């Protein structure tokens, strides 16, 4: 494999930090505008908390930006603004639903629950701290390769954590949460990162064996039977997640992740076919054997049958949003169960309409494609695999949760990256973005050490010419 033969190497080494700053300003402006818009429509006033919100989001974004200038000057300029925009809009929508729930509680003569938005801002801060730690501590992602098996073990442990009695809790039909010190965590979110590191490190070593030996069948290069071990283990583990944690989303995510990396490292489509068949078979077995899996599927096939079902309420909200949406603060997203967490995409679809939903999906697509772009440009195989794994995990997760909420596939309990209420997922996603930025810094950095050319010096050069 020769990297020089691809077009990727043609990057002119520029830091693009100025572009990032401009995009960040736009992302923050959009988020703050949304926040103010909500206050004006729901409470007829610019909310008093606007300053707190704007300063919080703005400061966090600025710190992250400065850390990149300092330690990863060549990092991708689009990823951070995308993350800030999604996070900011997510907090604004959580705040909006806080207001809606308070109105409902008041109408029923009950005391409203405490608002969730400040909590989410706090978690954003924690996420950005982890972001800084990753950027500042991990100076070279290749050092993670030494942690391959540690990461694998950690990932597996995190995966089974919710199954430990007394620690794991069953929420909304799935057992993917743990409760510690009065707070809930979704360890699967971090398991995902650990497993990507493990898969990458493992495949860097084993890819030759998996690629070379094999035989052709029906035009497909099939692997040797004895090499099927790893895929078998991944299959059993992901089926275990499906059966014992009853979460189709996590199961699909982990197995899909492994398959994609296997495919990228070996470039043999045969793995995808074998894996796809294995997964389909396993999922069908689970569907016919286990009641809770079966119920998820029937709920999906006929969401209208369940009175007050979250999918049904969500679909009604999305329809009510129509093409242009009700407008921020003018719908009833609080009428949907879990409107701030599982169903937050439905809340956006209701108030911002199909238009807003597609815009959000495009931002997600940007993150995914910038992540894969990083993988293309990365010069080492380990980094390529990690970037691919992180980007594809993002893609799968968005597909699984948004697909579930919009009725395309059965609903599962995965978090909507950066937007859904929930600390674990938010913090983990900030770590993912940090890792991608770290790799992209290496990928975009000029190969021969040279003084970074900033946008300013180019601008000066242009002026002089």
Partner 1 sequence: MNSAIRRLAVAAIVLMLALMANSTYLQAFRANEINGRNDNNRVRDSQFSVNRGPILIGSTPVAQSKESDDRFKYQRTYANGMVYAPVTGFYSYLFGRGGIELTMNAELNGSDPSMAFRRIIDVISNRPQQGGSVTLTLNAAAQQAAYNGLAGKTGAVVAIEPKTGRILAMASRPSYDPNQLASHDTEKVGAAWKSLNADKNKPLSNRAVQELYPPGSTFKLVTAAAALSSGKYTPETKVASPAELPLPQTTVPLVNEDGKNCGGSNNATLTIALRYSCNTAFGTVGMALGADALNEQAAKFGFGAKPLTELPAVATSQFPGDPNEPQTAQSAIGQFDVRATPLQMAMVAAGIANKGEVMKPYLVQNVKTPDLKTVSETKPESLHQAVTPQVAAQLTAMMVDVVNNGTGRPGRISGVQVAGKTGTAQTSRERPPFAWFTAFAPADDPKVAVAVLIEDANIPRNDIAGGTLAAPIAKKVMEAVLGQ
**Cβ 379 to partner 1 shortest distance, Å:** 12
Q: Cβ(100)–Cβ(332) under 8 Å?
A: yes
Q: Cβ(439)–Cβ(141) under 8 Å?
A: yes
Instruction: Quote the CA–CA distance of 232 and 234 in Å, as a whole number.
Output: 5
Measured from the CB atom, the residue of 250 and 265 that comes closer to partner 1 is 265
Q: What is the DSSP letter of 123?
A: H
Q: Which stretch binds partner 1 (CB under 8 A): 30-38, 51-59, 226-234, 330-338?
A: 330-338
Residue from 47, 403, 446, 452 touching partner 1 (CB under 8 A): that is: 403
Under the binding rule (CB under 8 A), the answer on residue 349 touching partner 1 is yes
Under the binding rule (CB under 8 A), the answer on residue 332 touching partner 1 is yes
Under the binding rule (CB under 8 A), the answer on residue 150 touching partner 1 is no
Under the binding rule (CB under 8 A), the answer on residue 413 touching partner 1 is no
Provide φ and ψ at 245, rounded to 5°: -105, 0
Residue from 124, 265, 347, 440 touching partner 1 (CB under 8 A): that is: 265
Of 170-209, binders to partner 1 (CB under 8 A) are: none
Please name which of 353, 311, 328, 343 lies closest in space to residue 422, comparing C-alpha atoms.
343
**Cβ 6 to partner 1 shortest distance, Å:** 5
Residue from 365, 379, 446, 455 touching partner 1 (CB under 8 A): that is: 365
Residue from 4, 323, 451, 462 touching partner 1 (CB under 8 A): that is: 323
Instruction: Quote the CA–CA distance of 224 and 19 in Å, as a whole number.
Output: 49
**Cβ 375 to partner 1 shortest distance, Å:** 5
Q: Which stretch binds partner 1 (CB under 8 A): 165-173, 354-362, 420-428, 455-463?
A: 354-362
Q: 232 is written with which tokens?
A: 């078998």
Q: Cβ(16)–Cβ(23) under 8 Å?
A: no
SS3 string, 336-383, reads CCCCCCCCHHHHHHHHHHHHHHHHHHHHHHHHHHHHHHHHHHCCCHHH
**Cβ 37 to partner 1 shortest distance, Å:** 17
Residue from 399, 411, 440, 444 touching partner 1 (CB under 8 A): that is: 399
Q: Which stretch binds partner 1 (CB under 8 A): 85-93, 158-166, 287-295, 348-356?
A: 348-356
Task: Spell 111-144 as b/e; 16+ CB within 10 A means b.
Answer: eeeebbbbbbbebbbebbebbbebbeebeebbeb
Instruction: Quote the CA–CA distance of 230 and 235 in Å, as a whole number.
Output: 8
Residue from 287, 381, 452, 455 touching partner 1 (CB under 8 A): that is: 381
- C-alpha distances out from residue 435 to 17, 182, 315, Å: 17, 30, 35
Of 299-318, binders to partner 1 (CB under 8 A) are: 304, 307, 315-318
Residue from 59, 322, 457, 461 touching partner 1 (CB under 8 A): that is: 322
Instruction: Quote the CA–CA distance of 215 and 105 in Å, as a whole number.
Output: 65
Q: 144 is written with which tokens?
A: 């993670």
Q: 104 is written with which tokens?
A: 């409902």
The set of residues, in sequence order, having a beta carbon less than 8 Å from that of 319 and lying 6+ positions away, is none
Under the binding rule (CB under 8 A), the answer on residue 93 touching partner 1 is no
Q: What is the DSSP letter of 224?
A: P
Total of residues contacting partner 1 (CB under 8 A): 54
Q: Which stretch binds partner 1 (CB under 8 A): 36-44, 120-128, 192-200, 262-270?
A: 262-270
Under the binding rule (CB under 8 A), the answer on residue 402 touching partner 1 is yes
Residues binding partner 1 (CB under 8 A): 1, 3, 6, 8, 107, 260, 263-265, 267, 304, 307, 315-323, 331-332, 335, 349-350, 353-354, 357-358, 361-362, 364-365, 368-369, 372-373, 375-376, 381, 384, 388, 391-392, 395-396, 398-399, 402-403, 406-408
């Amino acid at each position: 494999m020769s990297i020089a033969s691809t077009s990727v190497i043609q990057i002119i080494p520029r830091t693009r930090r100025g572009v990032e700053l401009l995009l960040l300003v736009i992302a923050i402006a959009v988020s703050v505008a949304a926040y103010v818009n909500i206050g004006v429509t729901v409470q007829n006033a610019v909310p008093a908390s606007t300053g707190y919100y704007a300063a919080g989001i703005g400061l966090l974004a600025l710190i992250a930006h400065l850390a990149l200038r300092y330690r990863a000057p060549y990092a991708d300029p689009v990823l951070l603004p995308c993350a800030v925009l999604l996070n900011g809009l997510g907090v604004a929508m959580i705040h909006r639903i806080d207001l809606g729930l308070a109105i409902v509680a008041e109408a029923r003569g009950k005391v409203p629950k405490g608002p969730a938005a400040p909590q989410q801002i706090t978690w954003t801060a924690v996420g950005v701290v982890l972001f800084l730690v990753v950027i500042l501590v991990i100076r070279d992602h290749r050092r993670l390769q030494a942690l391959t098996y540690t990461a694998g073990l950690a990932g597996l442990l995190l995966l089974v954590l919710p199954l430990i009695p007394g620690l794991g809790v069953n929420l909304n039909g799935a057992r993917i949460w743990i409760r510690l010190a009065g707070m809930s965590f979704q360890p699967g979110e971090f398991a995902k990162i650990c497993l990507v590191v493990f898969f990458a490190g493992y495949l860097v070593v084993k890819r030759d064996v998996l690629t070379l030996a094999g035989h052709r069948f029906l035009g497909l290069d099939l692997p040797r039977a004895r090499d099927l071990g790893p895929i078998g283990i991944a299959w059993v583990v992901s089926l275990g997640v499906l059966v014992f944690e009853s979460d189709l989303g996590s199961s699909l995510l982990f197995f899909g992740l492994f398959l994609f990396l296997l495919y990228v490292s070996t470039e043999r489509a045969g793995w995808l076919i074998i894996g796809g068949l294995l997964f389909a078979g396993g999922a069908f077995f689970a569907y016919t054997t286990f009641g809770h899996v079966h119920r998820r599927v029937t709920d999906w096939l006929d969401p209208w049958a369940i009175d007050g079902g979250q999918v049904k309420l969500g679909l009604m909200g999305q329809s009510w949003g129509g093409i242009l949406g009700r407008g921020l603060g003018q719908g009833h997203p609080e009428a949907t169960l879990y409107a701030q967490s599982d169903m937050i995409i439905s809340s956006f679809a209701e108030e911002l309409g199909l238009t807003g939903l597609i815009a959000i999906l495009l931002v997600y697509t940007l993150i995914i494609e910038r992540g894969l772009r990083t993988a293309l440009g990365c010069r080492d195989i380990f980094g390529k695999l990690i970037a691919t794994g992180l980007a594809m995990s993002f893609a799968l997760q968005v597909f699984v949760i948004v697909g579930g909420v919009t009725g395309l596939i059965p609903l599962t309990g995965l978090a909507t990256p950066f937007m859904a209420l929930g600390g674990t997922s938010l913090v983990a996603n900030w770590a993912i973005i940090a890792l991608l930025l770290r790799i992209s810094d290496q990928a975009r950095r000029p190969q021969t050490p040279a003084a970074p050319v900033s946008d300013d010096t180019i601008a000066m050069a242009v002026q002089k010419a």
